[in-house]
Amino acid sequence: MERWGETLLGAAVVLVAVGFFAFAAAQAGQSGASGGYELTGRFQRVNGVAPGSDVRVSGVKVGVVRSVTLDPNTFDAVLVLNVNQGVQVPDESTASIASDGLLGGAYVSIEPAGFDALAAGAEIPNTRGSIDLLTLFASFAQGNQSSDQSNEESAAP
């Protein structure tokens, strides 16, 4: 009798797991939202951005990253963005790579500027790549270390 209870509990766990996998697969299929239009952007660094990453304007998700490729001539990362149909991106906008905190995922943030809307397939004129936080912290630490040494040298008689 006790084995039947374990078997039923195991079957319930398997059914719940299959349900979660089915839900995840359905959500993954929706990440490339149809009905939008594509824009491209060239960046020097796109650390953490991958196909399916968010595209946001003022913190609101307005699309997804469709693809990330490397231009072999300029060595720039080329992102193809799928933007929702109802969102018009102005022609002088800036696209930058941002992250949700220190451990959060990266996304493309569009800062609107200009008057005319970019046409489908256009390239976003202004881009800013991601900032490598480890390099930034290292340069900050090195800057403090050299300023401490110069303070010690100036204090010596």
Q: What average pLDDT does the chain have?
A: 83
Token couple for 142 = 């090195």
Whether 67 maps to a domain, the answer reads yes
Are residues 65 and 52 part of one domain?
yes
pTM of the entire predicted model: 0.66
Are residues 76 and 55 part of one domain?
yes
The DSSP symbol for 44 reads S
Are residues 115 and 42 part of one domain?
yes
pLDDT for residue 121: 92
Asked whether residue 35 carries a pLDDT value surpassing 60, the answer given is yes
116 neighbors 125 (Cβ within 8 angstroms): no
Q: What whole-number percentage of the chain has pLDDT above 90?
A: 50
Whether 152 maps to a domain, the answer reads no
Kindly compute the dihedral angle of the four CA atoms of residues 116, 107, 73, 131, in this order, to the nearest 10 degrees: 110
The DSSP result for 105-149, as a single string, is PEEEEEE--SSSBPPTTPBPSEEE----HHHHHHHHHHHHHHHHH
**Which of 21-58 are b and which e, b meaning 16 or more Cβ less than 10 Å from the residue's Cβ?**
eeeeeeeeeeeeeeebbebbbbbeebeebeeebbbebe
110-131: pLDDT as tens digits: 999 999 999 999 999 999 987 7
109 or 27, greater pLDDT: 109
Whether 139 maps to a domain, the answer reads no
Are residues 85 and 65 part of one domain?
yes
Are residues 56 and 25 part of one domain?
no
Are residues 67 and 16 part of one domain?
no
pLDDT band at 144 (very low <50, low <70, confident <90, very high): low
Are residues 87 and 101 part of one domain?
yes
Helix (H, G, I), strand (E, B) or coil at 5: helix
Asked whether residue 30 carries a pLDDT value surpassing 60, the answer given is no
Whether 10 maps to a domain, the answer reads yes
Are residues 40 and 23 part of one domain?
no
39-68: pLDDT as tens digits: 999 999 898 899 999 999 999 999 999 999
Q: Which of 82, 70, 63, 74 is nearest to 46 (CA)?
A: 70
Asked whether residue 147 carries a pLDDT value surpassing 90, the answer given is no
pLDDT for residue 27: 64
Q: What range does the domain containing 47 cover?
A: 35-133
Structural domain count, the chain: 2
Are residues 56 and 126 part of one domain?
yes
